[in-house]
Structure 1
Amino acid sequence: MSSNRLPIIQPIPVPSGPPKYELLRQSILEEFAAKVPLNLRISASCLAKPPRNVTSIPHECGILSPEEIDITENFDATALASAIASKKFTAVSVATAFSKRAIIAHQVTCCLTEWFMDEAIQQAQALDDHLEATGRTLGPLHGIPISIKEHIPLAGHWSSVGFLDTRTKDEEDCQMIAILRKAGALFYCKTVQPQSLMHLESDSIYGRVLNPYNINLSAGGSTGGEAALIAMRGSVLGVGTDIGGSIRAPASFCGIYGFKATSYTLPMKDFIPGGFAAELNILCSTGPMAHSLRDMDLFMSVVSSAQPHLKDPRLVPIPWTGLRSPTTAPLKIGLMTSDGVISPQPPVARALAWARAKLENSNRFQLKAFEPYKVATAMRQISLAYFPDGGKTLKTHLQKTGEPCFPLTKWVIREGEGTELTSQGVLEQRLLRDQFRCAFAEYWESQDVDVVLCPTYVGPAPIHETAFFWNYTAFWNYVDYPGVVFPTPIKAQSAGIEKYATSDSTPLSDNCKYVRHLWEREDYQGAPINLQLVARKYYDSDLFAALGAIEEALELDR
């Protein structure tokens, strides 16, 4: 490794490319490193022999002051906004604390693409001056530092769509960022996403993002940098995108909250310059990632109240009521314990059993078994829809700089590689999708449920390079239903302790057999387990209200 780079932990390096590519990549990493002062660098001994779980390093490394530890560890965004408004903390002190903690988090998880502490402090000072001069905050997010996924345009900073040749410096904020900035948010870093934006592991020119709870596991993708940063308490609130699980999977792997809204609920104007071919049939969504449900509710309220549909007529102007929404009594919860293709690994099954037991003890809920609906069919169709050009554009991007094709990139394009659809072929996919959606809507109605509680993934966070199975998240993208993931107290134990139930002894498919093999072979110890709650399309506010009620029964903090 070049001495001019910032040392980071990388148990499994990303693939290297030809000399021209590596020189360009090195210059980017050196540019990043030049901005990080020596007093914010972790000791070489810690990086050389890191613990499996690195979440305690920011607290213990001696870089943060007691107040900075307090700010970053003991407040969610809602509480932090109140503390800044009451002048308990200045915006400068908050921006400083999170900027410092973010760069510590990067050194142990490789979660950042850009870090600009000086700019954040300047923003914060302007906010403090405003509060001092007027006695009022700029808005409901006054002084709240928000981390942003790399591809989302932020004025004066770099973005890309998952390939080195697309890296560009944006001149203006996109619509989402402009709304957050007007509400008083400040920005201090951007976070790692995977090559092609289409992995459930965030590996890129910056390196491989590590799971803070077990660095031998993935932090997920495509919003994996965000998830790792938030889990490390280097961010209090972040913005991600989701077209197949890209918010929900990493949030789940890292034990935080994440919300994928129904398409065209939240603004995504200018998120992807030139568009994204997958969206011809599978619309991407954006949403918050956070430490609490109420923080995500705050985010949704702020963005919705800005009436983004007035500037982007694609958006559906549904008022946000979120946690204030009424719930039916009893709330009818469908419990889907398997998707019929891959049975979840033991710790996920244990989390579902824990939730069932808690909810059955409450008279506020009616639990029902929810049988999966043609998941294998949906996955075949969505896999083809992601790359209607057969991977041609992807390969062109790689060829321009000699960027190597990463293993999971090869995996995601395998179904449709080399088969470029005509306009008629894309139309046929659209018809199949709409037929499936209508049939599923009827099926949901026949099950008579308000929401569905289910796994987020086939197991805890996967071992690096094994994040193959998107079933539990991508299905909901295909039908365009909103989904929120939330942490449970369950953590994965070793395979020697946790076993598949004897009643679940027969694999459902070859993929299910492989997932069982992974469980027996690999070490997932300490990985957090989240669950996923899903509602009908455009029932996003009702989804939040339902989870609020469920969390009370589960005795989880809100």
Structure 2
Amino acid sequence: MSVASCLPLPHVGVKAGHLTPKDTDGTYPSKIDISSGVPARKLPVVQPKSVPRGTASFEVMRASLLDAFDSKVPLDYHLPRELIENPPTDVSGIPASCGILSRDEIEITESYDAVALVAALAEQKYTAVAVTTAFCKRAIIAHQLTCCLTSWFMDEAIAQAKELDEYMAQNGKPIGPLHGLPISIKEHIAIRGTSSSHGYFGGMALDDMDSEMVAILRSQGAVFYCKTNQPQSIMHLESDSHWGRTLNPFNIHLSSGGSTGGEAALIAMKGSVIGVGTDIGGSIRGPSAFCGIYGFKPTSNILPMRGFSRGTFPGELNVLAATGPMGRSLRDMDFFMRSILSAKPHLTNPELIPYPWSSIEAPLVRPLRIGIINNDGFIVPQPPVKRALSWAKALLSDPKYGDLVEIKNLKVLGAAEAWDKVRLMYWPDGGQLTTDAITSTGEPVHPLTRSICQTAEPLGMQNAGSISVMRDQRDNFRHAFAKSWTDQDVDIVIGPAFVGPASAHDTAFYWTYTSLYNLVDYPGAVVPTPIKAELGESYDSNYVPLSDACQHVKELWETGNFEGAPINLQIVARRYHDSELFRALNVLKDILNLA
């Protein structure tokens, strides 16, 4: 695809412009430097660590894109420049206190999960226009503080909401189960009339059709109002793209995760009540954990992904991606799954299996057998994650829950082996197709894009025989993993979602606690805990590294400041035991005080 085909984009009205170099504090200067041809952004966005700069011509094109986005935002929704230039470390409270939102808009965006909000809309407590307006405004506030968006289309969203209100007025009932519910969508997922990309400039294009899932959501009454940031290449845990770097709302010097990091930050900032992500290595679970929200990666081929990406990704020859919800509660995750599957997408999409979604309230016939993962045998988690595991284990060990749960320590099979395998399987082309597409426009290859490709780069483009050998190795590993699970006699496992809390920018190197379950294709949910990272936490005095990676993770902890970062835990079930996982989560809800 040529650069010319990327610009202009009709829905954003691109204007010519250039990009201002950032001041030393990471913000854009307030005046235009005519000599360099570089102007300031109309909508300043907090960026304590900027993304790498490309060639002069690339920065001109990127500036035009940012200028088009900025031009859509009314001045009334701009935060003070002095706040953007001197932000607090924790920006999560600013949307409610900045004065841009009305009292009703704060209530709408803060007081409901998706299930409760849909009920309020159905009861006509709020109009779809009022709800949509509230979330549009809060989303653009969140964006200025975290760089979480790539598209923001308030006018189109309000027009869609007006149609829903007219339907309600004429018919006295909602148009569908999601009537008036604003849903945020990850950047690469097609929504008609908006642009999508693979996280780099050269892959941008305007979509004239909804992807399959978006079409289902739209038919059920969902309102679309924004798309969210993701990493360059969509293949690592830092959402840094040509749109900028997404920040963690609770500590802006930390990552929001990836690849669905824009979604996670937006939901944590309460600029969305529920969103759609994708996951091939931890891309739903990682950012949800980094930002302290709920996220669910189903088994592959349950939910539709047709139209999510233009073209194909070679990594899916052996590692299957999945799509799933991110939101504020377990019941929102369940509600999303039931809503999509009620449309029976398998009838028109032969890639999908027919998967009946069971009630999460089905009674247990025996206590739930839970395996606790203290470490995966490859990397010992950082101190706050260990505290969260101890917290969960103490609650589950309470004798009053003895008729509900049985717990035991679980030994993870082959975590280091799985990490070695999956990094090769992601790039059967040696990463060359992606890096060539990135650099074709003068865009630089970002550090974590380079990091995840480097294992496979020396092998170059693989042939059919090599890829078949990889598949055989994958299947052998899956069989051994399933046997180990069975031998240890557990229904679900609870363990870390990541090696630590949210990582410092450009240091999310090890996703071993999530990518393992992509390799074996097991469903997993991440849930918040009351644990947050604190200053002064240190490793146990008897710590012995399990590997070089383990030692590196300890060094990253000792050189960083993770204060305030939330800690989630990951709960996993066997392949295609997604409904069983949710029934288990329903049991754990009261024990672990989940929403």
Q: Return the TM-score normalized by structure 2.
A: 0.92
Residue 386 (structure 1) aligned with residue 423 (structure 2): no
Counting only pairs closer than 5 Å after superposition, residues 254-333 of structure 1 correspond to structure 2 as: 254-333=291-370
Residue 426 (structure 1) aligned with residue 463 (structure 2): no
Residues 325 and 541 in structure 1, CA contact (< 8 A), matched pair in contact too? no
Aligned to 1:306, the other structure's residue is in SS state coil
**1:57 and 1:343 mapped to 2: Cα distance?**
35
Pick aligned residue for 1:541 from 576, 579, 587: 579
Aligned-pair RMSD on alpha carbons? 0.9
Deviation, 1:514, is 1.2
Residues 326 and 333 in structure 2, CA contact (< 8 A), matched pair in contact too? yes
Counting only pairs closer than 5 Å after superposition, residues 68-467 of structure 1 correspond to structure 2 as: 68-361=105-398, 362-363=401-402, 364-419=404-459, 420-467=461-508
Q: In the alignment, what sits opposite 1:518? A: 556
Deviation, 1:328, is 4.3
Aligned to 1:530, the other structure's residue is in SS state strand
Residues 52 and 215 in structure 1, CA contact (< 8 A), matched pair in contact too? yes
**1:323 and 1:25 mapped to 2: Cα distance?**
46
Cα deviations by residue, 1:168-226 (Å, 9 ceiling, x for unpaired): 01001011000001111000000001101101000000100000000000000000000
Cα deviations by residue, 1:413-460 (Å, 9 ceiling, x for unpaired): 010104221100000000000111011111111110000001000000
Aligned to 2:525, the other structure's residue is in SS state strand
Residues 368 and 584 in structure 2, CA contact (< 8 A), matched pair in contact too? yes
Residue 500 (structure 1) aligned with residue 539 (structure 2): yes
Deviation, 1:394, is 1.1
Residues 230 and 258 in structure 2, CA contact (< 8 A), matched pair in contact too? yes
Identity among equivalent positions (%) equals 54
Residues 182 and 222 in structure 2, CA contact (< 8 A), matched pair in contact too? yes
Q: What is the one-letter code of the residue matched to 2:451?
A: W
- Which range moves more in the overlay, 316-325 or 465-474? 316-325
Aligned to 1:142, the other structure's residue is in SS state coil
Q: In the alignment, what sits opposite 1:13? A: 50
Q: What is the one-letter code of the residue matched to 2:64?
A: S
Aligned to 1:480, the other structure's residue is in SS state coil
**1:511 and 1:543 mapped to 2: Cα distance?**
31
Equivalent pairs, count: 554
Q: In the alignment, what sits opposite 1:484? A: 525
Q: What is the one-letter code of the residue matched to 1:405?
A: V
Deviation, 1:4, is 4.2
**1:493 and 1:322 mapped to 2: Cα distance?**
39
Residues 392 and 418 in structure 1, CA contact (< 8 A), matched pair in contact too? no
Q: What is the one-letter code of the residue matched to 1:345?
A: Q
Deviation, 1:545, is 1.1
Deviation, 1:329, is 2.1
Shift in alpha-carbon separation, 1:519–1:543, aligned structure 2, 3 A = same
**1:345 and 1:124 mapped to 2: Cα distance?**
45
**1:206 and 1:113 mapped to 2: Cα distance?**
6
**2:361 and 2:331 mapped to 1: Cα distance?**
11
Cα deviations by residue, 1:128-177 (Å, 9 ceiling, x for unpaired): 11111101101111000000000000000000112211100100101100
Residues 343 and 458 in structure 1, CA contact (< 8 A), matched pair in contact too? yes
Pick aligned residue for 1:473 from 514, 525, 546: 514
Cα deviations by residue, 1:479-515 (Å, 9 ceiling, x for unpaired): 0000000000111001x2x222334x11111111111
- Which range moves more in the overlay, 324-333 or 314-323? 324-333
**2:439 and 2:92 mapped to 1: Cα distance?**
38
Q: What is the one-letter code of the residue matched to 1:549?
A: V
Residues 325 and 542 in structure 1, CA contact (< 8 A), matched pair in contact too? no
Residues 322 and 540 in structure 1, CA contact (< 8 A), matched pair in contact too? no
Residues 327 and 542 in structure 1, CA contact (< 8 A), matched pair in contact too? no
The runs of 4+ residues in structure 1 deviating greater than 3 Å are: 324-328
Deviation, 1:341, is 0.7
Q: What is the one-letter code of the residue matched to 1:31?
A: A
Q: In the alignment, what sits opposite 2:25? A: none
**2:371 and 2:45 mapped to 1: Cα distance?**
43
**2:364 and 2:154 mapped to 1: Cα distance?**
43
Aligned to 2:529, the other structure's residue is in SS state strand
Deviation, 1:3, is 2.9
